[in-house]
Amino acid sequence: MAFRAPARPPGPPGKPLIGHLQVFQRDPPKFLLEQAQRYGDIVYFRLGPQPAYLLNHPDYVQDVLVTQQSKFMKSRMLQRSKILLGEGLLTSEGALHLRQRRLVQPAFHRERLAGYGETMIAYGMRLRERWQAGETLDVAQEMMRLTLAIVAKTLFSADVEAEAPEIGQALTDILNRFNMLVMPFSEFLQKLPLPANRKFDRARERLDATIYRIIEERRKSGEDRGDLLSMLLLAQDEEGSGGMTDTQVRDEALTLFLAGHETTANALTWTWYLLSQHPEVEARLHAELRRVLEGRTPRVDDFPRLSYTGMVFSEALRLYPPAWAIGRMTKVDYEIGGYTIPAGAILILSPYVMHRDARYFAAPEQFNPDRWAAGEQENRPKFAYFPFGGGSRVCIGERFAGMEGVLLLATIAQKWRLRLDQGHPVEYRALLTLRTRGGVRMKVVNW
């Protein structure tokens, strides 16, 4: 009997050669959400010549991220991220990734979070005192500047506030180019002397200048400050070949420097926007702040008591997860849901899509923090909600980001309300993270 290949999963009709690349690039989250709603839990499509499969069920997400994770490697997007991040924690594989994670993990242990929390509150207080009643701000830029300063101070004991505008612009230039860099044939386009390529290179050099300066200053001082940078500089190779080179330290430092502020800044920006559109939620948030804080400055030990504030942040992460998609590439043929996915295919797991699945979230487009009240999550599968990923590659800074989001919301919202500038459109832009398109202009209003 002749071998009969299993039928492919359902999916949208594509164009010759380019497949679904054009419509995907136009609005990736919208495309993925529409296909999941139309075709179900496994959807087949093509990004140019590359076969891609959207997996849209909590069991499948758990298989890929946890149970069967050894059968997959990082997706093309993260492989191409090495252009910027080198062999850092986000991009490395196998034994190198395990080693790097062991080195970095102590910086995020629970006992260190209290110290980080004090820095978060202090910087949040400085921001709220700088704001003036009645002024209109780009909240996206404000949150980027704030979280950049916090991650630099907590993990690297560095002050980069004066450089924040330049660093922010460099990161924006890189992300604006990044979607092209992950597309088929981009390796060839990248080598051409195009203005966009030169702009990308200049932006990368600007980020490197800050990171290498911080490394050089610490090496010269020889001081062990007990922060992440000291851990990296003092780390010894298990095989006895010595410490990490400046390039290795740079890769890890830059990865955490960028990932540690970009994602939280986006999450906070979306939270302020959602609060401005839902005054009843905002009123409940402020009632909790009055009850818990009683008019005083927030403290780190308030964090577990700010339960509704945490629910608000969790719900914002549900609707606008900064990491809107997670990609993997199959190393071997992989059986799932009655289909065989061939080696070399792309798998896409999308928190943006899963978080809008009505099977797990009633009225999924509604902003409803009460979804996260005690008892509400008992019947919800674990991987129906995964804004920080999962498995051995779960975001190492998950607890850091959770505390930062809640403490900054509490610190700033205690004094200010933010109102969307009339006529200012708010849309997402799906780059490496889920940013706002053109920022979010909001007016600062006293409580």
Q: Contact at 8 Å (CB) between 436 and 429?
A: yes
DSSP annotation of 339:
E
Asked whether residue 98 is assigned to any structural domain, the reply reads: no
- The pLDDT value given to residue 27: 95
Asked if residue 396 is part of any domain, the answer here is: yes
Q: Has residue 180 been placed in a domain?
A: no
Q: Is residue 75 part of a domain?
A: yes
Which DSSP state fits 159? Answer: -
- First-to-final CA distance of the chain: 76
Q: What is the pLDDT along the chain (447 residues), one digit of tens a residue?
A: 444 545 799 999 999 989 999 999 899 999 999 999 999 999 999 998 889 999 999 999 999 999 999 999 887 777 777 888 888 888 888 888 888 888 888 888 888 899 999 999 999 999 999 999 999 999 999 999 999 999 999 999 999 888 888 988 888 888 877 666 666 556 666 777 778 888 988 999 999 999 999 999 999 998 888 888 988 888 755 555 567 788 988 998 888 888 889 999 999 999 999 999 999 999 999 999 999 999 999 999 999 999 999 999 999 999 999 999 999 999 999 999 999 999 999 999 999 999 999 999 999 999 999 999 988 888 899 999 999 999 988 999 999 999 999 999 999 999 999 999 988 899 999 988 999 999 999 999 998
The rounded distance, in Å, linking the Cα atoms of 435 and 17 is 30
DSSP string, 234-301: H-B-TTSS-B--HHHHHHHHHHHHHHHHHHHHHHHHHHHHHHHH-HHHHHHHHHHHHHHHTTSPP-GG
Residue 426 belongs to a domain:
yes
How far is the C-alpha of 258 from the C-alpha of 14, rounded, in Å?
A: 36
Residue 167, in any domain of the structure: no
Pair of tokens at residue 256: 């955490």
CA distance linking residue 444 with residue 418, whole number of Å: 5
262 in any annotated domain? yes
| Per-residue model confidence (pLDDT) at position 6 | 58
Calculate ∠ Cα 326-329-330, nearest 5°. Answer: 130
* Domain coverage including residue 280: 21-85+113-155+258-446
What is the value of pTM for the model shown? Answer: 0.92
Q: Tokens 């190198």 correspond to what residue?
A: 96
CATH number reported for the structural domain that contains residue 440 in this entry: 1.10.630.10
The answer as to whether 61 is a domain residue is yes
The domain tally of the chain equals 1
The token duo for 260 is 């540690």
pLDDT the model gives residue 192:
74
Phi, psi of 346 (to 5 degrees): -90, 135
CA 154 – CA 400 distance, rounded (Å): 10
* Secondary structure letter of residue 10 according to DSSP: P
